[in-house]
Structure 1
Amino acid sequence: MKFKLRPAFYFLIPFLIGIITGNYTSIPVFWLWLSILICLIGSVVARNRKRYLCYILLHIAIFTCGMLRLELATVPLIPHHFYDQPVSFTGKTTYQPERGEVWEACYVVGQVQLLADPSQTVSTKVLIRFDEPIPLRYGRRITLTGVLHQPDTKRNPGGFDYRAYLSRQNVSGIISHQGLLRLGEQSGFPPLRWIEALRLRTERTIDDAYVSFKEPSTDGLHAQLLKGILLGKRGDVPTETLDMFRNSGTFHVLAVSGLHVGLVAMFCFVAFSKFRVPMLTFRIPPKIVSLLTIAAIIIYACLVGFRPSVFRAALMASLYLFARIIDRDADIYNLLAVAALALLLINPTQVWDVGFQLSFTAVIAIVYFVPKMENPIRKLWETPEDDKSNRLTRYRKSALKWLVLSYLATFAAQIGTTPLIAYHFYRGYPLGIIVGPFAVGLVSLIVGVGMASVIVGFIFLPLAKILAVINHAIMFIFLKLIGLFGQEWGIMTIAPPTLGLIAVYIALILGITHWRFVYQQWKTASLIGLSVVAMWVWDSGFHEQGRLLEVVTLDVGQGDAAIVRFPDRTTMLIDGGIQRSYYDAKRQKQAEYDVGKRIIEPFLNSNGIRELDLVVLSHPDIDHGGGLGYILQNYRVKRVIGIADVQLDSQIHRRLRSIAKERGIPYSFPYAGEIDLTGTARLNLLHPIDAASTDLMDDNKNADSLVIKLSYGEVDILFTGDIEAEGEKLLITSQQDLRSEILKVPHHGSRTSSSVQFIDAVRPRFAIYSLGQRNQFQLPHREVVERYKERDCKQLRTDQLGAITVKSDGKRCWFRFSVLP
């Protein structure tokens, strides 16, 4: 087993390690520049005396260059005091071809000016969200006023870090348009303006050729699908269709990537090679064919936008064809390293982009594994040079080769990307191995016929409609295939793998691939295997938390949701945040926001939790019970408390009761007493006290809130729902022990709760508020905050700190916040 180190890797590996190291260190730019200079001078001095020292210093210089490049790329461009302030903006729109003709939002570069102090300006790139869609183009000058916001960071474990995502695109803020909007003349780089116009014309041609009056819904879906496959425009594809692609493991065909660039390059290369001038024997020379294909690849990359996968594939294909032009061999690993190095030089933060990681990992897996899997079965389609078999036999063998290699490429890509998909999305798509090769084949046909129909449509639309009929048939079969395999039963929910587990996975795959080496060099292979297993064991021990209680108050906006994990891994969910449907005026369709799906599910999946031992509904308000419906429907729940077996005047209660009955989940509405759940901690229900003092049929659902005291060793935590002053008084007069070190503040800090007597009875050291940023109720109320402050109680708020995690060993407590204060 030999490994040939390609020249580009000499630069890529230390540069990449430097970027990753720079993310965890902070060294002033001056010292980085000085280190690079010293290392370069030292390598020049040592090049003729000590060659190994020269190489070491050169690699250290490249490593430091990686740190320097990251440091220069992550300098904040907007002062913090600009955020949440009225601003004016003057600048130009950037190139963003995926937005179409009417834009709801756009990236712009220009000057941001504080309206309160016009002398303060900053040049930056921001995202503008308009209050209504407007027609815009690349390079259009724009002047407007609005409020500048800082993008949200990851506010909950398992959530999406929108700030980091925008930062990777050099976007520092979001302006919500309010008031003035003035559009000026269009400028910008002329070739990009021409390509943007070409894309818009392409979209119109697809609509004209593929949408008919007879079947507008089906044809419209096919037109949207073709624009998604060919141009990467997924926004118009229905959510149900997108879910089918995700579930079947074929979502990548709707994200323009190396597959699409490769297909476009192949079709263009074949078309240029076969081109003939009528009545003449003229044929385009091979080098000119390569040059024209490079031009087509660059135009297509600009047409769909230079996302990492497209940039990688376009650069690799262009370099490969350029090598043909200059009569040089092109090494695929070297091309891959050059593409990665170019991307990281342009934007080093791309190394944390999921698309970057998946794209390069998939290609590496295909290039490495496919030749090794292909060799034993190559004889199935190979024909000797003197073979005189008929054309049908050759076609049959070519088709077999294409089918087998398509399967092997899909299988290899899945082998390579499975750990990354599990780590980022907590999912596995085993059906992708089955449906993948057929999907790739059908997508190849859709792209080929789609390109032909668009090019013909530019010249003669009726002929393009004939080609569209062929593509309609292919897409009909394609959607049926995706629909068959795109059900939820095809998804595997996976806990995110640790570094040690990924190492075991890689070692296992390489061991199977190089089984001959393992057999012949079994001592060496055993030593490597034992080392990897030891790494896994140590890594598992490092992640083991021991006998700790963990309570996570999730940031669900204006609502409540908390997850408790006991030392024996028993899990309890208290409330589920909001769930509501609304009409999205911008997109002109119904939309749904469900905390259970958006926030609680990612948290549970990121922690490998598929079973909940107890779900608690404190009271049936929409901001507490709305998201529980999704959880009850999609997770194994052993028991629910807080749902009375009576018909209440509450839509949330009726819905949750119906789901619990349908899924056979035991439910009840208990009164004060001990809750039997785990032997590692005590759970006491303090309120409602008894049936006599509780009226479930009245309109005040807050008065019926379940109040639970969790005791673990010497640490007590009190969960209070939305209990108000009257309920607090009942608790005090019941003479139950309310004393708790940590208090979940009642009713989000409303003045109707947290009475002086109640706070004095609880005597909390820490008070946790669950509330939304800039909420319309202006919670917490000032007088409530002052009450806790007067008693030296540390106050923690989810609107400021994101999710708040408390860990305790029964004597001490440790706090961790998703957003640093």
Structure 2
Amino acid sequence: MKNYLQAINNYYFFPALASLGVAIFLLEMHKSNVFLLGIIAIRIYCTKHRKIQLCCLLVAFLTLLSSGYLLIHEKKHQLDEMKNCSGKLTIWPDNIRVDGDRLQLRGKVKLDNSTFTFKNLAFYKLTSKEEKIYWQTRMRPVEISFVGSSQKPLDQINRFGFNYQKFLKQQKIYQIITVKKIHSISAVVVPIYRFDRWIGILRSWLAQHIQRNFGKQTAIYMNMLLLGIKQSEFSEIEETFSTLGILHLFSLSGMHVTFFMNCFRYFLLRIGIQTNKVFWLQLLFAIFYSGMTGFSISVIRALLQMSFQLINQKYSLKLSSLDCWSLALIVHLLGNPYLLFTNAGKFSYFLSFFIYYILKIIAHYPSKWLKSSLLSLLLGITMIPLAGVTFYEWQVFSGLLTWICFPLFKKILLPIILSSFLFSFISKINIYIVILEQFFQSLTILFMRIEQFWIGNIGIRHFSFFTCLLIIYLLICFFNAWINKKRRAISYSICLLLVLNFKFLSPIGTVAIIDVGQGDSIFLQAPFHKENILIDTGGKLAFKKEEWAMRQQEKAGATYSVIPYLKSRGVTKLDKVFITHGDEDHFGDLLTISKKIKIKNLYFPNGTTKKKKFLSAVKQLSKNGTRCYELLAGDNIDSYFHFEFLSPFKEGIGENNDSLVMYTKIADKSFLFTGDLEIEGEHQLIKYWPTLTIDILKVGHHGSKTSSSPMFLDQLKPQEAIISCGRNNHFNHPNIEVLKELEKRQIDLFRTDQQGMIYYEWLPGSKLSKGKVVKKTN
């Protein structure tokens, strides 16, 4: 067997490719994945190596079984939504998350009308501070008897946006339960053989020990870097690290695993353990440590790869670094076929694969300083294809900052955190804890100061599957050329730069009605990236709560809707933002967007600044260099997009009938954007513009019965109408009478609550496409 395995040394990459191709094809049957599987099959056939091909077939068959079992499991656990359900939910302490008055529970549920248990995610609104403290201090598993409702997670609603349903499916969660009432809570006896559960209990206890014995900032860093636990307070600084491109340093990965494994080995040798026994103890520690970090994907990858390297050394298998990487990927895929659909899986395996090339490049350089700087720089470059399918921006100087921070984490932060953590079980020195807290507070402030002057992010637009493959091919060619010291490396780097700037070469223009829930947000982008415009930003009302109920991790809706979509279109600045009126569901996320995407010009109806919150937002934007303008009917703006403003006719106070009504023609179609204009305003508008007709109407006030009067619709004669409203909203928008009026006139209707984003595209000199939607309705 050993001789057979050694016969394909340096070729385990091909079985890994076979496993990857089968898993991706089976779990997401898309034409691009068929193409990828075909390329992999042809490449394996071209090896002309019988043993490699047999090994690939075996691994592909095992992956087929693993993926097939997962698909059967999914089908079995697909349940219908239930407005009323009851059952029992078993929760382990490390799966409890408390944020303000929101309790998140992840565990096994058995509904009263079901014969089997399944993994589930449940949410419950806490009713008191005492109840919050109870759940925060749980250190033992419990079973709750509850009454609530069950629903499927929300599918993708915006182009290139976050798909919550797919995200949870990758964790084998297919339903979300909203707990309305907890009837009883009882303790759960943990079987002695459930090693994973005991580790979870220990992990939860250690997290609470850290919370009790250290300051707030120290606990945030310690829980993150030791246990991989993100506290709710971490969200306050998470955005900073993400902007700087160093968030990966806080995600347990190869650097952290190497540090802790080396510490453990050093400890064993110092207490006199024989070298041959150290090997087995290291393997056991690897399993234990993966559990202590919540079985994190990046940690499991690093531990698997390191374990194969240790086995290779002990048994002289003559495996290459790439072989160890490939074997880790095969084993990981067999255990979790969804591995490479997750961001953690993509980043961990993709970057560790390119380290194999980078180490070959830097091996020729004698200086350690130069080697480490080149490693960070080239790893930053390999992030390009990943950035194009995840965050849609490339942090150019993240490699440089990683290079600076890497020694800080490896030689200062990790040793300080580990030694402080261990010492806390022996003694508690208050002055040391205060100094440690001051150190971490200062470090956080330093990173926030750097963020204020950070200019290293480039918007790169969403990459298609084939663009991504092209970039990966160019990267491999670039690295190979560099290794072989060929001048072609320069040509490949120029090609990479051209691909990065593809957004300026794209002739496709877009009009998109973004799904922001109960609100409005409309994006217009001209061909060749000539102009980017946003009409309204979405947002929601903020209600006052007691201090204990305030959530730390609650983010603005634009963080999940408008901002990702704008970034996917390569937008780094908005030429114009129009706010139709002063309701928060139209401007509430304005400042949130401005922090991520520069706004050059802001336009709004005369009198909107009489709304205090809007006035505050305008003042803040003005300080940041945004030029602000007030508009009335009769004004117009001429740029790539020509806008005529048909309302309001006089200064208002930012209410619905003071809405900015905008008319524009795009390609061969005319649009009318009406904000929340109501019937009174509609009648005034058609009185002043008696010959106005249009092709596409953005229906006023989310389809409320206070808008879209028969007289208004009869004059405009729209062919299509778009209603932007939230799912199951409290206002019952759109109103049934409005829907009937639209249907009576045979107006084609699009709704964001049913179809998600609605968008149109065109090419210069051509007609506007038909309306496209993200979600198909039955």
TM-score in terms of structure 1 length: 0.80
Equivalent residue for 1:777, pick from 731, 736, 759 = 731
Distance 1:125 1:727, change over 3 A: same
> Does residue 137 of structure 2 align to residue 152 of structure 1?
no
Residue 413 (structure 1) aligned with residue 374 (structure 2): no
Deviations 1:32-57 (A, max 9, x none): xxxxxxx9xxx9xx9xxx98678657
What is the correspondence of 1:246-265 to structure 2 with a 5 Å cutoff?
Answer: 246-265=242-261
Give the alignment partner of residue 460 of structure 2, picking from 487, 495, 498: 495
Give the direction of change, closer, same or farther, for the CA distance of 1:284–1:235 in structure 2 (3 Å limit): same
Question: What is the aligned partner in structure 1 of residue 686 from structure 2?
Answer: 732
Matched-pair identity in %: 22
Cα distance, 1:87 vs. partner?
Answer: 1.6
Match of 1:804 in 2: 758
Deviation of the 1:175 alpha carbon:
0.2
The aligned counterpart of 1:111 is: 110
Q: Residues 270-669 of structure 1: matches in 2 within 5 Å? A: 270-275=266-271, 283-326=272-315, 328-377=317-366, 401=368, 406-444=372-410, 445-458=412-425, 460-462=426-428, 475=440, 478-479=443-444, 482-483=447-448, 485-487=450-452, 489-496=454-461, 498=463, 499-500=466-467, 503-504=470-471, 507=474, 510-511=477-478, 514-515=481-482, 517=484, 519=486, 546=507, 549-567=509-527, 569-582=530-543, 588-589=549-550, 593-632=555-594, 635-644=597-606, 648-659=609-620, 661-662=622-623, 663-669=625-631
CA distance in 1: counterparts of 2:704 and 2:501, whole angstroms: 45
**Change in CA separation of 1:634 and 1:651 when aligned onto 2, cut-off 3 Å:** farther
Aligned to 1:748: 702
Give the counterpart of 2:26 among 22, 33, 38.
22
Residue 646 of structure 2 corresponds to residue 686 of structure 1: yes
Q: Do residues 709 (structure 1) and 663 (structure 2) align?
A: yes
Q: Matches of 2:616 and 2:383 in 1, distance apart? A: 39
Alignment of 1:141-180 (within 5 A): 141-180=143-182
TM-score normalised to structure 2 length: 0.84
Secondary structure of residue in 2 paired with 1:186? coil
The aligned residue for residue 760 of structure 1 is 714
8 A Cα contact 2:361 2:483, kept in partner: no
**2:176 counterpart SS class:** strand
Q: 1:584 to 1:346 in 2, by over 3 A?
A: farther
1:187 aligned partner: 190
* Structure 1 residues 682 and 122, CA gap change in structure 2 (3 angstroms): farther
Q: Which moved more, 1:744-753 or 1:732-741?
A: 732-741
Distance 1:307 1:784, change over 3 A: same
Residue 597 of structure 1: how far off its partner (Å):
4.4
**Post-superposition shift, 1:257?**
1.7
RMSD, aligned CA = 3.9
Q: Which moved further from structure 2: 801-810 or 65-74?
A: 65-74
Structure 2 residue corresponding to 1:86, chosen from 72, 84, 88: 84
Distance 1:530 1:5, change over 3 A: farther
- Structure 1 residues 453 and 414 mapped into 2: Cα distance closer, same or farther (>3 Å)? same
- Number of matched pairs: 738
Q: Give the match's secondary structure for 1:609.
A: coil
Letter in 1 for 2:189: Q
Tell me which amino acid in the other structure corresponds to 2:108. Answer: V
| Aligned equivalents of 1:430, 1:549: Cα separation in 2 | 27
Quick one: structure 1 residues 765 and 545, their matched pair in 2 at CA, closer, same or farther if it must change by over 3 Å?
A: farther
Q: 1:613 to 1:99 in 2, by over 3 A?
A: closer
Give the match's secondary structure for 1:717. strand
Distance 1:66 1:301, change over 3 A: closer
Write out per-residue CA displacement over residues 139-196 of structure 1, whole angstroms, 9 at most, x where no aligned residue.
5433322111211222223432211111110000110101244333233553234323
For 1:79-129, what per-residue CA distance to the aligned partner results, in whole angstroms no more than 9, with x for missing partners? Answer: 77722522223353368468599992222224335xxxx4x6664321011
- SS in structure 1 opposite 2:365? helix
> How far 1:304 sits from its partner (Å)?
1.1
For residue 367 of structure 1, report the CA deviation from its aligned partner: 3.0
Contact 1:551/1:565 (<8 A) preserved: yes
In the alignment, what sits opposite 1:392? none
- The amino acid across from 1:627 in the alignment is D
Q: CA deviation at 1:615?
A: 2.1
Partners of 2:48 and 2:266 in 1: how far apart?
48
Q: Could you report, residue by residue, the CA deviation over 1:585-629 in whole angstroms, capped at 9, with x for unpaired residues?
A: 696436665344443222211101233333222122211122234
CA distance in 2, matches of 1:508, 1:10: 19
Native 8 Å contact 1:78 1:122 kept in 2: no
| Cα distance between partner residues in 2 of 1:811 and 1:331 | 56
Q: Which residue identity is paired with 1:503?
A: L
Q: One-letter code of the match for 2:268? A: F
Distance 1:758 1:480 in 2: 55
Gaps of 5+ in 1: 28-38, 212-218, 276-282, 381-400
Q: Partners in 2 of 1:272 and 1:259 — Cα distance?
A: 20
Match of 2:222 in 1: 226
- C-alpha contact 1:571 1:614 (8 A) present in aligned 2: yes
Task: Give the 3-state SS of the residue equivalent to 1:169 in structure 2.
Answer: coil
Quickly say closer, same or farther: Cα 1:273–1:329, change in 2 above 3 A: farther
Structure 1 residues 251 and 545: alpha-carbon distance in aligned structure 2, compared to 1, 3 A threshold:
closer
Residue 125 (1) aligns with residue 125 (2): no
SS of the equivalent of 1:348 reads coil
Given that 1:577 and 1:627 are in contact with CA atoms closer than 8 Å, whether structure 2 keeps it comes out as: yes
Offset, 1:488: 5.2
Contact 1:205–1:454 (CA under 8 A) maintained in structure 2: no
Q: Tell me the residue number matched to 2:775.
A: 819
Q: CA deviation at 1:309?
A: 0.5
Mind listing any 5+ residue stretches in structure 2 that lack a counterpart?
1-7, 32-40, 127-131
The residue identity in structure 2 corresponding to 1:73 is L
**What letter corresponds to residue 459 of structure 2 in structure 1?**
I
Q: Which amino acid aligns with 2:81?
A: Y
In the alignment, which residue of structure 2 is the partner of 1:216? none
Displacement of 1:714: 3.6
Deviation at 1:675, TM superposition (A): 3.5
Contact 2:635 2:644 in 1 (8 A): yes
Taking a change above 3 Å as real, the CA distance of residues 238 and 741 of structure 1, as seen in their structure-2 partners, is: same
Instruction: Give the whole-Å Cα distance in 1 for the aligned partners of 2:384 and 2:585.
Output: 36
CA distance in 2, matches of 1:480, 1:79: 47
Equivalent position SS for 2:770: strand
2:70 corresponds in structure 1 to 73
> For the residues of structure 2 that align with 1:58 and 1:291, how far apart are their CA atoms?
28
CA distance 1:489–1:765, shift in 2 (3 Å): same
Q: Supply the distance in 2 between the matched residues of 1:594 and 1:638 (Cα, whole angstroms).
A: 21
Task: Name the CA shift for 1:777/1:428 in 2 (closer, same or farther; >3 Å).
Answer: same
Give the one of 195, 199, 206 matched to 1:202.
206
Structure 1 position 719, deviation (Å): 1.2
SS state at 2:517 partner: coil
User: Residues 724 and 753 of structure 1 are in contact (CA less than 8 Å); yes or no, is this contact kept in structure 2?
Assistant: yes
